[in-house]
Amino acid sequence: MSAFATASQPLIGAEGLTVNRPGTSEPVLRDVDFRIDPGEIVTVVGPNGSGKSSLIRALLGHMALAGGKVARRPSLRIGYVPQRVQIDTAIPMTVRRFLSLPRRVPDAAAAAALQRTGVPGLERRQLSQLSGGQFQRVLLARALLCEPHLLVLDEPTQGLDQPGIVAFYRLLEEVRRETGAAVLMVSHDLLVVMRSSDRVICLNGHVCCQGSPEDVSAAPEYRALFGTEGQDMLALYRHRHDHDHDQTGACLPGHGHDHGRDHHNHTPLRVQG
């Protein structure tokens, strides 16, 4: 794995990626360039219908390309965490059985994966009886079983409350630290994204802007897309501990042309504990 991590080739790279809405010739994504390197946490944000999930699917090879190319490193192991809402609970299934689907794993490996994601001893519980947070952790445990080089998560915190979201992203950072796996995720949780990503890609049919969380949240394209919500997040992100400003960001200027003023004084906030 260390040889894997030091090579300069990206884990997944894409050039000129174009994807059509299934069954049509109408593009959901146009001309997207993308790369993710070993150990990186990259988050894709964007409004509904902006092609976030299509990007993930195309990168994973689950969707036909209408143009461009995707290169995955040979023998790249990917741990995938789908949207929780799409798991069908009509099937009676224990956590233990789920971890062995479709590849059977030994009991010890299953127990270790659950331990690592903070839900030890859940083996005999039914999937339908898990809380939202537990379910996410079980999905993550399952993704870790193949010892992935890359974790791919599609809106992993949907349906979690704020403390649950924060705890889940902290767990992701821990996993990245322990395993060195890169993380690619789609998220709506702007605040937490800003806190825990190395790089943010803002998507709306094409790449609007990308870069460090700070750069992206200052970009006019990002502000145009996320409007006041984005600015509130930006305010929280920068000023959580700054008593001169209102936490809602109300005292930030509405148009964002003088945001540069704050840039020099604040480093990105990392919440501890």
Partner 1 sequence: MLDDFFTRALLAGLGLSLVVGPLGSFVVWRRMAYFGDSTAHAAILGVALALAFDVSIYAGTLAVAVVMACTVSALVSRGQAMDTMLGVLSHSALAFGVVAISFVPGARSDLSGYLFGDILAVGRGDLLLIWTGALLVLGLLCLRWQRLVASSLNEELAMAAGIDPRVERMILALALAVVVALAIRVVGSLLISAMLIVPAAAARGLTRSPEWMAALAAAIAALSVTGGLYASLHVDTPAGPSIVSAAAVAFVLSQALRRG
Cβ atoms of 166 and 192 within 8 Å: the answer is yes
Residue 92 within binding range of partner 1, rule CB under 8 A: yes
* Contacting partner 1 within 163-182 (CB under 8 A): none
Taking the least distance from each CB to partner 1, the nearer of 155 and 232 is 155
Taking the least distance from each CB to partner 1, the nearer of 97 and 266 is 97
Task: Tell me the DSSP string of 116-177.
Answer: HTT-TT-TTSBGGGS-HHHHHHHHHHHHHTT--SEEEEESTTTT--HHHHHHHHHHHHHHHH
Taking CB under 8 A as the criterion, the residue among 2, 8, 75, 90 binding partner 1 is 90
Q: Which one, of 208, 216, 215, 251, lies nearest residue 232 by Cα? A: 251
Taking CB under 8 A as the criterion, the residue among 70, 71, 93, 167 binding partner 1 is 93
Residue 104 within binding range of partner 1, rule CB under 8 A: yes
Taking the least distance from each CB to partner 1, the nearer of 53 and 204 is 53
Please report how many Cα atoms fall inside a 13 Å half-sphere around the Cα of residue 246, on the Cβ side: 8
CA 227 → CA 13, 48, 111, 235, distances in Å? 30, 14, 44, 12
Choices 94-102, 130-138, 206-214, 258-266 (CB under 8 A): range interacting with partner 1: 94-102
Nearest distance in Å: CB 113, partner 1:
15
Residue 102 within binding range of partner 1, rule CB under 8 A: yes
Taking CB under 8 A as the criterion, the residue among 91, 250, 251, 271 binding partner 1 is 91
Q: How far apart are CA 113 and CA 107, in angstroms?
A: 10
Burial class of 255 by CB neighbour count within 10 A (0 to 12, 13 to 18, 19+): exposed
Residue 263 within binding range of partner 1, rule CB under 8 A: no
- C-alpha dihedral sign at 232, 235, 240, 246: negative
Residue 4 within binding range of partner 1, rule CB under 8 A: no
Taking CB under 8 A as the criterion, the residue among 30, 35, 97, 206 binding partner 1 is 97
230 contacts: CB under 8 Å, gap ≥ 6: 190, 217, 222, 223
Nearest distance in Å: CB 65, partner 1:
15
Cβ atoms of 38 and 177 within 8 Å: the answer is no
Question: Scanning the structure block, which residue is given the tokens 């009676």?
Answer: 92
Taking CB under 8 A as the criterion, the residue among 25, 26, 48, 103 binding partner 1 is 103
Site string for partner 1, 51-70 (x = CB under 8 A): ------x--x-x--------
Q: Which residues make up the interface to partner 1 (CB under 8 A)?
A: 22-23, 57, 60, 62, 78, 80, 82, 86-88, 90-94, 97-98, 101-104, 126, 152, 154
